């Protein structure tokens, strides 16, 4: 993309806010105009597009349609919630702060509660934070989408976590204001106000909260939100729901939704800790200052664009060859690696082995509720050495993720082991300016690596800095795994084609996508989707009369459901034929273009093809 094209693209920063832009969709499901043709962009351009999307998190309100992260109303609510947490910190008897969510939201609940319980431990205080993730701890590192649809499970897990407690501040996170699991928990809180004070974190305005009936319940997510709005006036419930703009890959709330969740929760809990333990009053100024530190963090990746696109290119190459990308992390950055890797499965239809994360110390470092999760969830560096390293070669990419506060000699040792098998070794590490500790070892590690992204921070290491390192790492990893899958051809325009249809939100998203790409009516698209889910060319009454939960349950074991349905819709062919076509042309974006353009369009401007592009004929990702 040329400079002027990019400037023009940036002017569409606010386009999604127009009431006419995809009006039937909530912000969290809209497609982002900035990434409309990310599927045809070069790696450098992908990096810039993702950064531009991230920067929308901090757009000014400026008379806009939606409130923002730093809008007065949002900051005020953050202060009120921080004061509630402060009260619990000062008198923690029989009290608890519970953070809960599904998928990425639950993973961030885990990350944040771990960090702040650790901070309490360092102050000799007992822990007051607890996390819940739909589907239990295995959902920390794998996709467990079905429990997200279960409000009763949500209620039960909250009751269980709070047994014997007299005062609970419940923070439910659902980026799309949509997960029935969280709606059930909020409803429980509203029914028991003597114990629970509910807080909702999400990134849609309240009128866009999901209003579909929840089987077996008299409430919808939206009706719960409306009840909370009523109570918010008397501070008996709190809503924190700024808009951060549509995701770079439509609906992929692990990206901005996850980052903004992390920012909001950390701002609230940090303010509460400062108030309770260092007599620092909770002020608007203090909250804004912390937010601005995060805003600055977003600038860091921009300063490393070149290194970042080289990493993305390397990861893309490995995935294109059907090889692996492995993250080897230390401390909380290791957790972020585990999380980012595991999210590739549901987000891109990736294989479990495609992108994997490992953390130094394994479960001992993690200290999750359920402890070690068994042989299907091996996460330590030792596991990597035994199970993965022996099969690696130069086509597999390995990324070291660490900071200067980690055991750098351990990093060096592991780097040497990896180098024996692959030269495709890279590093991302954070250090503070002027710190010369372990410089020799750092240099040795750099020499072992094909590329190293050294991120130098100005201030001395502190709690805030650790959180900034984490945010920066999350942005890097999200960009890396997203970009690599874009390069692999997994995305069409800015839509994930091969999404799993394993809960009602994803089922509705899949039907909508089929409508958009085929131009067929909704009923026809749902029919095609069901045929692909049940692997039949004719639907039986038993299938059509079943509810969505039966469909999503069946879809758990199916692959390529949406691509198959789309090929059938576009060509009118049978499922077997569609399967064959996808086998011959697995890069779905190319498959889709074939139907529309018919052949390789070599007349496209070079700017659209990217600098490193060479046309390879029909399967070419860029030209077709
Ligand atoms: C929760 C979630 C996402 C995941 C996927 C399915 O969404 O599990 O984390 O990436 O899109 O839904 P939400 O409740 O936070 O909106």
pLDDT tens digits for range 393-407: 999 999 999 999 999
Rounded Cα–Cα distance for residues 403 and 438 (Å): 11
Mutate which of 111, 134, 135, 148 to test ligand 1's pocket (most atoms within 8 Å of Cβ)?
148
Mutate which of 104, 171, 244, 258 to test ligand 1's pocket (most atoms within 8 Å of Cβ)?
104
Q: What is the pLDDT of residue 301?
A: 78
Residue 351 Cα to ligand 1 midpoint, Å, equals 19
> For 366-382, what is each residue's pLDDT tens digit?
999 999 999 999 999 99
pLDDT for residue 621 is more than 70: no
Q: What is the pLDDT of residue 620?
A: 35
pLDDT for residue 595 is more than 80: no
Rounded Cα–Cα distance for residues 550 and 566 (Å): 21
For atom 4 of ligand 1, which residue has the closest CA?
A: 103
Under the banding of pLDDT at 50, 70 and 90, the label for residue 624 is very low
Lining ligand 1 with CB less than 6 A are: 101-105, 145, 148, 174-176, 178-179, 253-254, 257, 505
Residue 147 Cα to ligand 1 midpoint, Å, equals 11
Relative to the CA of 148, which ligand 1 atom is closest?
A: 8
Report the candidate in 33, 27, 31 with the shortest Cα–Cα distance to residue 8: 33
> Span 117-132, mean pLDDT?
97
pLDDT for residue 278 is more than 90: yes
Residue 102 Cα to ligand 1 midpoint, Å, equals 6
Residue 144 Cα to ligand 1 midpoint, Å, equals 10
Q: What is the pLDDT of residue 544?
A: 95
Q: What is the pLDDT of residue 273?
A: 98
**Number of neighbouring beta carbons within 10 Å of residue 426:** 21
Rounded Cα–Cα distance for residues 162 and 178 (Å): 23
> For 543-558, what is each residue's pLDDT tens digit?
999 999 999 999 988 8
Under the banding of pLDDT at 50, 70 and 90, the label for residue 613 is very low
Q: What is the pLDDT of residue 598?
A: 36
For atom 14 of ligand 1, which residue has the closest CA?
A: 174
Per residue in 159-196, is it b (16+ CB within 10 Å) or e — as a string? Answer: eebbeeeebbbbbbbbbbbbbbbbbbbbbbbbeeeebb
Under the banding of pLDDT at 50, 70 and 90, the label for residue 5 is low
Contact 93, 127 (CB under 8 A): no
Relative to the CA of 134, which ligand 1 atom is closest?
A: 8
> Span 586-603, mean pLDDT?
51
Relative to the CA of 107, which ligand 1 atom is closest?
A: 9
Q: What is the pLDDT of residue 437?
A: 76
pTM: 0.92
Residue 175 Cα to ligand 1 midpoint, Å, equals 7
> For 444-465, what is each residue's pLDDT tens digit?
999 999 999 999 998 776 678 9
Q: What is the pLDDT of residue 438?
A: 76
Residue 329 Cα to ligand 1 midpoint, Å, equals 24
Under the banding of pLDDT at 50, 70 and 90, the label for residue 86 is very high
Take residue 80 and report the two structure tokens written for it.
């009120």
């Amino acid at each position: 993309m040329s400079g002027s094209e990019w400037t023009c693209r940036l002017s569409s920063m606010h386009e999604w806010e127009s009431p006419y832009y995809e009006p039937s969709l909530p912000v969290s499901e809209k497609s982002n105009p900035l990434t409309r043709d990310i599927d045809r962009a070069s790696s450098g351009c992908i990096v810039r597009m993702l950064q531009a999307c991230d920067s929308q998190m901090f757009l000014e309100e400026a008379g806009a349609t939606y409130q923002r992260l730093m809008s007065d109303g949002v900051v005020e609510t953050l202060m009120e919630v921080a004061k509630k947490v402060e009260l619990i910190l000062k008198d923690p008897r029989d009290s608890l702060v519970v953070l809960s969510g599904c998928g990425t939201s639950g993973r961030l609940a885990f990350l944040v509660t771990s960090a702040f319980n650790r901070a309490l431990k360092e102050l000799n205080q007992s822990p007051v934070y607890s996390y819940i993730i739909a589907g239990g701890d295995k959902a920390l590192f794998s996709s467990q989408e079905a429990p997200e649809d279960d409000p009763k499970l949500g209620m039960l897990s909250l009751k269980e976590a709070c047994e014997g407690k007299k005062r609970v501040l419940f923070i439910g996170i659902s980026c799309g204001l949509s997960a029935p699991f969280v709606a059930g928990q909020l409803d429980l809180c509203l029914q028991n106000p003597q114990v629970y004070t509910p807080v909702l974190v999400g990134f849609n305005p309240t009128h866009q909260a999901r209003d579909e009936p929840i089987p077996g319940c008299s409430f919808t997510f939206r009706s719960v939100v409306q009840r909370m709005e009523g109570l918010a006036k008397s501070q008996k419930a709190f809503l924190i729901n700024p808009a951060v703009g549509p995701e770079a890959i439509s609906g992929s709330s692990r990206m901005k939704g996850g980052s903004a969740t992390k920012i909001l929760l950390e701002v609230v809990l940090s303010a509460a800790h400062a108030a309770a333990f260092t007599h620092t009053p909770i002020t608007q100024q203090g909250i804004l200052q912390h937010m601005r530190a995060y805003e600055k963090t977003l600038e860091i990746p921009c300063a490393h664009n070149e290194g970042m696109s080289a990493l993305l290119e390397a990861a893309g190459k490995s995935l294109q060859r059907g090889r692996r990308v492995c993250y080897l992390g230390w401390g909380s950055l290791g957790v972020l690696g585990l999380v980012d890797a595991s999210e590739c499965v549901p987000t891109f239809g990736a294989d479990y082995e495609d992108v994997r994360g490992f953390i130094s110390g394994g479960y001992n470092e993690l200290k999750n509720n359920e402890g070690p999760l068994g042989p299907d969830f091996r996460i330590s560096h030792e596991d990597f050495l035994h199970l993965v390293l022996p099969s690696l070669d130069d086509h597999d990419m390995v990324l070291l993720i660490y900071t200067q506060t980690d055991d750098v000699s351990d990093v060096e040792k592991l780097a040497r082991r990896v180098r024996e098998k692959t030269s495709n070794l890279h590093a991302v590490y954070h250090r503070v300016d002027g710190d010369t500790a372990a410089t020799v070892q750092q240099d040795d590690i750099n020499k072992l690596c094909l590329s190293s992204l050294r991120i130098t921070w100005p201030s001395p290491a502190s709690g805030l800095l650790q959180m900034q390192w984490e945010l920066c790492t999350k942005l890097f990893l999200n960009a890396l795994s997203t970009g690599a899958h874009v390069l692999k051809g997994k995305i069409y325009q800015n839509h994930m084609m091969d999404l799993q249809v394993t809960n009602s939100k994803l089922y509705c998203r899949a039907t909508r996508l089929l409508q958009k790409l085929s131009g067929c009516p909704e009923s026809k698209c749902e029919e095609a989707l069901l045929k692909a889910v049940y692997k039949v060319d004719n639907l039986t009454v038993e299938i059509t009369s079943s509810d969505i939960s039966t469909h999503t349950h069946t879809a758990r074991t199916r692959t390529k459901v949406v691509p198959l349905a789309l090929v059938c819709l576009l060509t009118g062919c049978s499922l077997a034929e569609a399967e064959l076509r996808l086998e011959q042309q697995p890069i779905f974006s190319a498959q889709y273009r074939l139907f529309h353009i018919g052949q390789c369009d070599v007349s496209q401007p070079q700017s659209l093809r990217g600098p490193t592009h060479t046309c390879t004929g029909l399967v070419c990702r860029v030209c077709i």
